């Protein structure tokens, strides 16, 4: 909590009346924001609300059209990334800016070398890096190459880097998105430590639970406008959602009314090295099966094997009693299995192509005659999904890379819906997606189940797994460690217990 | 919004704009007095003469040797006869021949009504008719007729323009394949060597099939062998890239040396002649509306490639593989097959280029094709295809190839010295790539 007298002094950071337009879009329409020393300010808003733009202005990547920025009550210039750094602002973007083959130490001091042709004072750098890690309270091997570090460790390196530049304001953009629950706890300890050192933190996340846990105040943005700023203690979850979305959602998870039928996809003894061992599972018609576990438990790896993205060492697959031979994703798609990958940008979309082209990619057979693509038909089919699942696009020719995360996910969804697959695997379907869009995606998952499809959801977000699935399978270290059949009565603790337990025996493990 | 449209316009038609500017510039600097010598000009001139001279009046036709002199003279004689004028003699040659023609006419004693000449002979007649008239009174009243002249750029003359296209046709055709390869974020350095390889193999195949008197069938068959051999080389490259993950730059560098070396080995380092002039059909012929056959082939291939890249699945797949290979694979695109396809196609087109080159000289020359790969890459890049992959257009490449050809041709017409040509050539490529970077930069701004 900020000291009580801090409120009367000038805040650490004050942004006033920030406006920013891009061609055709008013991204920010006069946003105010203030941050005190030793405070965590959460920045909440749907995708496209203007959070990223605001942060990029703070980081010197964009210039505001209007508005002032003050640090300690003094007007500050953040015209360039360098100026922003010099003003004591450190930004940790979702995608880290680390050089993979340089060590943690080298990354921390990159750009701070004494001069282009002088020797690097290695010993003193090591000592300083060590001191930084001590200050953060986390141990990271100073001379390990960054690509050998875990995501959480890389994040610590990023934090250390900002501290080495004497940052007093640290912005974290979705820092927990790629972390396991345990790693997230570690991150929170680091944040507490930074708070105690009078550093102000702006924290961006879509995970409301985290906001309650870590934030002192919350600033809400919607459509480029500042909606409200309130202490987190005065807020309920429902209020938060309402302030973000601008309307109240009855529930986070829509209800589904289906009873699972016959088994459709049956997987037996799937193996792939250490990462997937003896995984057997079945998904029934109209069933939503949850697959969870800590990051690295083998969930995504299992999904990739089912989809043919990787080749299993052994194991068999059956769909509706027919055994499947799947050597690559092309086979899987032809047989009626599709996978919505967790990383949309790297695996789900060709960002430079239009949404229509992305949509058509797995469906070209459907849209071609005599070798020619019937582009009008393709565009019409896509337009149908634009209405059905409310994709916000300017038209079928919009380039996929220019869409917000939620709309990108919907484009990916549309391309697989058109495929009319029988088995749909969602890997982290709502990662980085705002609350409103999440709800729409959940509704869609329910519709698929109601059509008798077999749905598999992989998610690290336990509320999502518990709220959306009929049955949950938990993995740890490549093995299935348990199954939860009575989902309505299960708790997050039940899942976590299985996620951290050792596999018992062979095959599907025990019934939880 | 308006600003956006301008940038889009610049993206889409920037290279076309550059091409137009270049054409305008070279047109401007090569404007000269032109005196037409086409059959149509002959007809117009003959009609003018027929209108002014009485029927049956005697005239002589004088044209310069070389160029279109002979055909112009013949056309004139024919049209003049139609116009009712008596053509006493037709002379194609030097001024001395013209003088002889006139004195020969004077010797007949008849009255000369007119001298019908091209630009050069008209100027000869103008300066000499006075003296000749004094010597031979029958010549004194002759009127001198020449085609109406006009100012027109040498660059824009039909023959020059056709020449521009003909000279670039081999590079442009191979650039189709290279565009596809570069869109998949690859590169193919072997195409220049494959030109030599294909030419030599084709010539040797024709020799061994047809001996000293190969038939047209042998020529076709030989060309197929040459093209398919290069297709196999491309298939091999594609396999190296997909199966073993060898970077395309390295794989094609290897093929480049191997193919060049083999071309010299199998030809004993000497050009291999083809013993049938008909082999020149592709490289020298003009069988379609007076267009060079190589240019017609180039335009057809570009039309096909454009349709394939914009309207078919394989086109879509190529863009997707270049834009994001992993997303493409997970969307069911047969990524490896696509890559093998583009390298094989490029090999086939390089083989075709080799056949065209050999056809032009009626010889398979192991020395041909040197550094052509770089010209091809330059055409693709100047045409706006990004080396980063995923973006590029077939028609852009055609424009890129034209830009390079126009620069070459224009510099030749204006007498720019050859070393300077290289400097300018390089500068143009750098500017094109800079524009490419600028585009990416602008796109990033737009996204944010």
Q: What is the pLDDT of residue A506?
A: 39
Interface test with B, best of A352, A382, A417 (most B CBs within 10 A): A352
Tell which of B127, B148, B169 closes a domain. B148
A65-74, A106-115, A210-219, B18-27: least confident range: A106-115
B58, B202: one domain? no
Rounded to whole angstroms, how far apart are CA atoms A360 and B113? Answer: 77
CB < 8 Å to B391, chain A: 352
Reading the block at residue B144, the tokens are 């001198």
CB < 8 Å to A309, chain B: 329-330
Between strands B31-34 and B58-64, the pairing is unpaired
Of B313, B327, B330, the CB nearest to A364: B313
B381: helix, strand or coil:
helix
CB < 8 Å to B4, chain A: 23-24
- Answer whether B329 sits within 8 Å of A373, measured CB to CB: no
Confidence of residue A24 (pLDDT cuts 50, 70, 90): low
How much is the pTM? 0.76
Total domains in the fold of chain B: 2
Q: Do domains A4-245 and A249-336+421-512 have the same CATH topology?
A: yes
Rounded to whole angstroms, how far apart are CA atoms A357 and A375? Answer: 9
* Residue A4 in this model has a pLDDT that exceeds 60: no
Planar angle of CA A398, A401, A407, nearest 5 degrees:
75
CB < 8 Å to A364, chain B: 313, 316-317
Average predicted confidence (pLDDT) for chain A = 86
Q: What sign results for the dihedral spanned by CA atoms B96, B100, B101, B102?
A: positive
The residue among A469 and A177 whose pLDDT is bigger is: A469
- Asked if residue B375 lies in contact with residue B171, where contact means CB atoms within 8 angstroms, the answer is yes
Confidence of residue A176 (pLDDT cuts 50, 70, 90): confident
B321, B278: one domain? yes
B216, B276: one domain? yes
Of B4, B312, B320, the CB nearest to A373: B312
B319 touches chain A (CB under 8 A): yes
* Residue A511 in this model has a pLDDT that exceeds 50: no
Q: Where are the alpha helices (DSSP H) in A313-424?
A: 329-334, 355-360, 364-367, 375-388, 405-419
CB < 8 Å to A327, chain B: none
Q: What is the pLDDT of residues A381-433, one digit of tens each?
A: 999 999 888 888 888 889 888 887 778 888 998 999 998 899 999 999 887 77
- Asked if residue B144 lies in contact with residue B122, where contact means CB atoms within 8 angstroms, the answer is yes
Q: What sign results for the dihedral spanned by CA atoms A213, A216, A219, A220?
A: positive
CA distance B374 to chain A (A): 27
Planar angle of CA A496, A502, A503, nearest 5 degrees:
110
Mark which residues 130-169 of A lie under 8 Å from B by CB. none
Which range of A249-263, B99-113, B194-208 scores highest in mean pLDDT? It is B194-208
Interface test with A, best of B7, B304, B332, B338 (most A CBs within 10 A): B332
Q: What is the pLDDT of residues B17-73, one digit of tens each?
A: 888 888 999 999 988 888 888 888 888 888 888 888 888 888 889 888 877 788 888
Q: What is the pLDDT of residue B448?
A: 44
Between strands A25-35 and A13-22, the pairing is antiparallel
| Residue A493 buriedness (CB in 10 A; 0-12 / 13-18 / 19+) | exposed
The string of DSSP letters for B67-107 reads TTHHHHHHHHHHHHHHTT-EEEEEEEE-HHHHHHHHHHHHH
How long, in residues, is chain A? 512
B131, B252: one domain? no
B5 touches chain A (CB under 8 A): no
Quick one: which of B316, B419, B426, B351 has its CA closest to B201?
A: B351
- Asked if residue A110 lies in contact with residue A102, where contact means CB atoms within 8 angstroms, the answer is yes
To the nearest whole percent, how much of chain B has pLDDT over 90? Answer: 48
CB < 8 Å to A93, chain B: none
Q: What is the pLDDT of residue A509?
A: 36
- Domain carrying residue B105: 39-148
Planar angle of CA A76, A78, A81, nearest 5 degrees:
150
B266, B409: one domain? yes
B205: helix, strand or coil:
helix
CB pairs under 8 A between A and B: 89
CB < 8 Å to B183, chain A: none
B233, B373: one domain? yes
* Residue B291: partners with Cβ closer than 8 Å, 6 or more residues away: B162
- Answer whether B4 sits within 8 Å of A23, measured CB to CB: yes
* Residue A302 in this model has a pLDDT that exceeds 50: yes
Rounded to whole angstroms, how far apart are CA atoms B196 and B372? Answer: 10
B190, B222: one domain? yes
Q: What is the pLDDT of residue A249?
A: 60
The residue among A182 and A60 whose pLDDT is bigger is: A60
B59, B100: one domain? yes
Assembly ipTM: 0.75
A307 touches chain B (CB under 8 A): yes
B212, B105: one domain? no
Interface test with B, best of A364, A371, A416 (most B CBs within 10 A): A364
Q: What is the pLDDT of residue B358?
A: 96
Q: What is the pLDDT of residues A469-489, one digit of tens each?
A: 999 999 988 999 999 998 888
CA distance B177 to chain A (A): 20
Q: What is the pLDDT of residue A5?
A: 46
For B183, nearest residue in chain A (alpha carbons): A352
The residue among A174 and A40 whose pLDDT is bigger is: A40
- Answer whether A353 sits within 8 Å of B390, measured CB to CB: yes
Rounded to whole angstroms, how far apart are CA atoms A154 and A175? Answer: 11
Confidence of residue A2 (pLDDT cuts 50, 70, 90): very low
Between strands A368-369 and A372-373, the pairing is antiparallel
Phi, psi (degrees; rounded to nearest 5) at A141: -60, 120
B141, B211: one domain? no
Q: Which residue ranges make up each domain of chain A?
A: 4-245, 249-336+421-512, 351-416
Of B312, B323, B446, the CB nearest to A351: B323
Rounded to whole angstroms, how far apart are CA atoms A316 and A49? Answer: 46
Q: What is the pLDDT of residues A351-377, one digit of tens each?
A: 989 999 999 999 988 888 888 899 899
Q: What is the pLDDT of residue B446?
A: 52
Q: What is the pLDDT of residue B440?
A: 64
Rounded to whole angstroms, how far apart are CA atoms A364 and B314? Answer: 10
* Residue A331 in this model has a pLDDT that exceeds 80: yes
Q: What is the pLDDT of residue A166?
A: 87
Rounded to whole angstroms, how far apart are CA atoms B163 and B155? Answer: 10
Q: What is the pLDDT of residues B390-419, one digit of tens each?
A: 888 999 999 999 999 999 899 988 888 888
CATH architecture of A4-245: 3-Layer(aba) Sandwich (3.40)
CB < 8 Å to A329, chain B: 329-332
Q: Looking at the DSSP assignment, which residues form a beta bridge with residue A324?
A: A317
CB < 8 Å to B333, chain A: 330, 361
Q: What is the pLDDT of residue B340?
A: 97
* Residue B302 in this model has a pLDDT that exceeds 90: yes
CATH number of the domain residue B140 falls in? 3.40.50.2300
Average pLDDT over residues A174-198: 87
Average predicted confidence (pLDDT) for chain B = 89
A362 touches chain B (CB under 8 A): yes
Q: How far apart are the first and last CA of chain B?
A: 15
Confidence of residue A267 (pLDDT cuts 50, 70, 90): very high
- Is residue B9 assigned to a domain? no
- Answer whether B313 sits within 8 Å of A23, measured CB to CB: no
C-beta contacts of B442-448 below 8 A and 24+ residues apart: B442/B7, B446/A22, B446/A23, B446/A402, B446/B4, B446/B7, B447/A401, B447/A402, B448/A22, B448/A53, B448/A56, B448/A61, B448/A62
Rounded to whole angstroms, how far apart are CA atoms B395 and B383? Answer: 8
Chain centre to alpha carbon of residue A286: 27
Q: What is the pLDDT of residues A94-152, one digit of tens each?
A: 778 888 888 888 888 887 776 666 677 788 888 888 888 888 888 888 888 888 888 88
- Asked if residue A103 lies in contact with residue A145, where contact means CB atoms within 8 angstroms, the answer is yes
Rounded to whole angstroms, how far apart are CA atoms B411 and B417? Answer: 8
Q: Residue A426: which H helix or E strand, with range?
A: strand A423-427
Q: What is the pLDDT of residue A510?
A: 38
* Residue B315 in this model has a pLDDT that exceeds 90: yes
* Residue A215: partners with Cβ closer than 8 Å, 6 or more residues away: A40, A41, A42, A203, A232
B174, B130: one domain? no
Confidence of residue A52 (pLDDT cuts 50, 70, 90): confident
B333 touches chain A (CB under 8 A): yes
B107 touches chain A (CB under 8 A): no
The string of DSSP letters for A22-52 reads ETTEEEEEEEEEEE-TT-EEEEE--TTSSHH
Confidence of residue B5 (pLDDT cuts 50, 70, 90): low
For A310, nearest residue in chain B (alpha carbons): B330
CB < 8 Å to A362, chain B: 331-332
- Answer whether B324 sits within 8 Å of A401, measured CB to CB: no
* Residue B218 in this model has a pLDDT that exceeds 80: yes
B8 touches chain A (CB under 8 A): no
Q: What is the pLDDT of residue A436?
A: 77
- Answer whether A373 sits within 8 Å of B447, measured CB to CB: no
- Answer whether B446 sits within 8 Å of A22, measured CB to CB: yes
- Answer whether A357 sits within 8 Å of B333, measured CB to CB: no
Of B1, B319, B331, the CB nearest to A23: B1
B306 touches chain A (CB under 8 A): no
- Answer whether B328 sits within 8 Å of A350, measured CB to CB: yes
CA distance B236 to chain A (A): 23
A349 touches chain B (CB under 8 A): yes
- Answer whether B316 sits within 8 Å of A361, measured CB to CB: yes
- Answer whether B331 sits within 8 Å of A329, measured CB to CB: yes
Rounded to whole angstroms, how far apart are CA atoms A84 and B280? Answer: 68
Q: What is the pLDDT of residues B329-386, one digit of tens each?
A: 999 999 999 999 999 999 999 999 999 999 999 999 999 999 899 999 999 988 888 8
CATH code 3.40.630.30 for A249-336+421-512: no
Confidence of residue B308 (pLDDT cuts 50, 70, 90): very high
To the nearest whole percent, how much of chain A has pLDDT over 70? Answer: 93
- Is residue B16 assigned to a domain? no
Of B1, B330, B447, the CB nearest to A402: B447
To the nearest whole percent, how much of chain A has pLDDT over 90? Answer: 42
B208, B318: one domain? yes
Q: What is the pLDDT of residues B89-118, one digit of tens each?
A: 888 888 888 888 888 888 888 888 888 888
Rounded to whole angstroms, how far apart are CA atoms A290 and A271? Answer: 20
CB < 8 Å to A350, chain B: 319-320, 323-324, 327-328, 390
Rounded to whole angstroms, how far apart are CA atoms B71 and B41? Answer: 11
């Amino acid at each position: 909590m900020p000291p009580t007298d801090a409120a009367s002094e000038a805040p650490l950071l004050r942004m006033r009346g920030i406006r920013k337009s891009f061609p055709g879009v008013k991204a920010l329409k006069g946003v105010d924001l203030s941050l005190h020393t030793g405070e965590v300010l959460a920045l909440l808003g749907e995708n496209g609300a203007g959070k990223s733009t605001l942060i990029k202005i703070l980081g010197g990547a964009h210039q505001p059209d209007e508005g002032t920025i003050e640090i300690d009550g003094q007007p500050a210039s953040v015209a360039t990334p360098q100026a922003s750094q010099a003003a004591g602002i450190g930004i940790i973007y979702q995608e880290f800016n680390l050089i993979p083959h340089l060590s943690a130490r080298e990354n921390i001091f990159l750009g701070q070398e004494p001069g282009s042709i002088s020797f690097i004072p290695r010993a003193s750098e090591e000592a300083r890096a060590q001191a930084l890690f001590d200050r953060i309270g986390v141990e990271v091997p100073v001379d390990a190459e960054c690509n050998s570090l875990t995501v959480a460790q890389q994040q610590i390196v990023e934090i250390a880097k900002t501290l080495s530049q004497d940052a007093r304001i640290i912005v974290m953009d979705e820092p927990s998105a790629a972390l396991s629950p345990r790693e997230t706890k570690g991150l929170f300890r680091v944040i507490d430590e930074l708070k105690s050192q009078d550093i102000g933190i702006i924290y961006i996340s879509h995970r409301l639970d985290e906001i309650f846990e870590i934030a002192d105040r919350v600033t809400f943005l919607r459509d480029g406008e500042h909606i409200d700023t309130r202490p987190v203690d005065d807020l309920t979850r429902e209020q938060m959602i309402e302030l973000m979305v601008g309307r109240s959602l009855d529930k986070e998870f829509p209800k589904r009314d289906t009873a699972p039928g016959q088994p459709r996809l049956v997987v037996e003894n799937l193996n792939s090295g250490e990462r997937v061992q003896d995984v057997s599972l079945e998904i029934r018609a109209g069933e939503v099966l949850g697959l969870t576990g800590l990051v690295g438990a083998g969930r995504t790896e299992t999904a990739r094997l089912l989809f043919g993205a990787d080749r299993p060492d052994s194991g068999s697959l059956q769909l509706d009693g027919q055994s499947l031979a799947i050597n690559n994703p092309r086979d899987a798609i032809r047989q009626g299995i599709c996978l919505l990958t967790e990383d949309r940008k790297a695996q789900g979309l060709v960002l430079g192509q239009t949404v229509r082209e992305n949509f058509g990619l797995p469906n070209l057979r459907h849209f071609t005659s005599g070798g020619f693509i019937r582009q009008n038909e393709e565009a019409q089919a896509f337009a149908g999904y634009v209405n059905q699942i409310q994709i916000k696009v300017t038209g079928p020719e919009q380039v996929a890379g220019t869409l917000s995360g939620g709309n990108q996910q919907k484009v990916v969804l549309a391309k697989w819906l058109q495929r009319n697959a029988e088995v749909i695997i969602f890997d982290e379907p709502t990662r980085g997606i705002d609350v409103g869009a999440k709800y729409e995606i959940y509704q869609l998952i329910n519709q698929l189940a109601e059509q008798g499809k077999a749905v598999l959801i992989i998610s690290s977000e336990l509320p999502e797994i518990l709220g959306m699935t009929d049955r949950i399978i938990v993995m740890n270290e490549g093995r299935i460690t348990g199954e939860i059949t009575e989902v309505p009565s299960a708790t997050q603790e039940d899942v976590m217990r299985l996620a951290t337990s050792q596999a018992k025996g062979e095959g599907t493990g025990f019934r939880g | 919004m308006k600003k956006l449209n301008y940038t889009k316009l610049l993206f889409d038609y920037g290279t076309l704009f550059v091409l137009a500017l270049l054409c305008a510039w070279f047109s401007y600097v090569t404007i000269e007095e032109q005196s037409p010598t086409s059959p149509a000009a002959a007809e117009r001139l003959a009609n003018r003469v027929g209108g002014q001279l009485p029927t049956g009046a005697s005239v002589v036709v004088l044209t310069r040797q070389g160029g279109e002199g002979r055909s112009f003279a013949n056309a004139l004689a024919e049209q003049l006869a139609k116009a009712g004028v008596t053509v006493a003699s037709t002379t194609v040659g030097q001024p001395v021949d013209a003088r002889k023609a006139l004195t020969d006419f004077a010797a007949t004693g008849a009255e000369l009504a007119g001298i019908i000449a091209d630009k050069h002979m008209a100027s000869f007649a103008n300066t000499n008719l006075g003296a000749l008239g004094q010597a031979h009174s029958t010549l004194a009243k002759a009127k001198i007729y020449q085609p109406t002249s006009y100012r027109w750029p040498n660059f824009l003359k039909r023959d020059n323009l056709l020449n521009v296209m003909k000279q670039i046709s081999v590079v442009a055709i191979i650039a189709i394949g290279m565009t596809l390869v570069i869109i998949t974020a690859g590169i193919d350095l072997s195409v220049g060597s494959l030109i030599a390889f294909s030419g030599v193999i084709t010539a040797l195949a024709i020799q061994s099939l047809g001996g000293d008197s190969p038939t047209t069938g042998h020529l076709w068959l030989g060309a197929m062998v040459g093209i398919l051999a290069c297709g196999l080389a491309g298939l091999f490259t594609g396999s190296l890239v997909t199966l073993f993950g060898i970077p395309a730059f390295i794989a094609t560098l290897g093929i480049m040396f191997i193919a060049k070396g083999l071309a010299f080995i199998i030809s004993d380092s000497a050009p291999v002649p083809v013993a049938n002039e008909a082999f020149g059909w592709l490289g020298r012929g003009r069988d379609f509306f007076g267009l060079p056959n190589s240019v017609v082939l180039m335009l057809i291939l570009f039309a096909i490639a454009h349709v394939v890249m914009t309207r078919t699945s394989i086109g879509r797949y190529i863009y997707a593989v270049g834009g994001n290979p992993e997303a493409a694979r997970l969307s069911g695109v047969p990524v490896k097959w696509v890559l093998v396809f583009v390298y094989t196609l490029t090999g086939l087109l390089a083989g075709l280029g080799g056949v065209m080159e050999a056809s032009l000289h009626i010889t398979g020359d192991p020395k041909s094709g040197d550094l052509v790969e770089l010209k091809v890459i330059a055409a693709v890049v100047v045409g706006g295809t990004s080396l980063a992959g995923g973006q590029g257009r077939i028609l852009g490449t055609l424009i890129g190839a034209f830009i390079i050809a126009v620069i070459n041709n224009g510099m030749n017409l204006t007498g720019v010295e050859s070393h300077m040509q290289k400097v300018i050539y390089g500068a143009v490529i750098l500017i094109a790539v800079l524009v490419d970077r600028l585009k990416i930069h602008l796109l990033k701004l737009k996204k944010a």
